[in-house]
Amino acid sequence: MIKYFCVTKRAVAITIVLALVCISFIGLCIGVSVAGTVTPNGMTIVIDPGHGGRDGGVVGTLTGEKEANVNLGISKSLRHFLTDAGYNVIMTRQSDVDLSSGDSGFKKSDMLARKKIIEEAKPNLVVSVHQNSFPDKEVHGAQVFYAPFSDVGKEIAETTQAVLNASLNCNRIAKSGDYYVIQCTEYPSMLVECGFLSNPTEEALLVTAEYQRKVAYAIYSSITQILEEKIA
């Protein structure tokens, strides 16, 4: 009886230890799951790097760099700043691809796919990142567009334009623009043309990672101001 009792006590002790380990592990898993799905401020932003894949966008006059690549570089930096600040960020694309589902009418298919991503995200804000081009190579500067007849869009675009003017040494005003991505859903949206790839001086800046981060930080700064004062 004494031998049996000792074995039983040892078995019970082992069982208790294993149970505690399992409970701790389950608690840790739950904590990780929650941390991965709930952001501190509860706000979601969709970043739309314009073009991609078969649609490279405009091309730099000196470097031949595709707009799609510059858009993606700025968008990734913007995502970094926003996620570090506690925002939930969803990108419509994360590599040099288009979002079309086939060869026929691929541009329309690509835009509809971006619309679907935005609608599923239910974001507080949509930011579509682009680069500009113009026959006159002297034209330069970042330009922000909003959907026509959107009072909220106009307000957030004007806020962003002011920050870009101050940060990037340009002097432009926000304008309404007939762009599908900022009109296709009900969510507050703006389209940012970060500079002109047709301007040699600005192109030389836009193709560098350092300047892309600078542009991204300016957009990030405007977003925090927008969500704190305009939308939230």
Residue 68 sits in a domain whose CATH number is: 3.40.630.40
- Assess whether 56 and 132 both reside in one domain: yes
Reported as a single tens digit per residue, the pLDDT across 66-115 is: 999 999 999 999 999 999 999 999 999 999 998 987 766 889 999 999 99
Provide the whole-model pTM: 0.82
Residues 10 and 53 in one domain: no
Q: In this model, does residue 17 exceed pLDDT 50?
A: no
Same domain, 190 and 87: yes
Which pLDDT score, from 0 to 100, does residue 175 have?
98
Q: What pLDDT sits at residue 104?
A: 67
Helix (H) or strand (E) holding 116: helix 106-121
Domain count, the chain: 2
- Average pLDDT, stretch 191-195? 98
Q: How far is CA 152 from CA 125, 161, 184, in A?
A: 11, 14, 15
First to last CA, the chain: 71
| Per-residue pLDDT band at 6 (split at 50, 70, 90) | very low
Give me the domain span that covers residue 216.
41-231
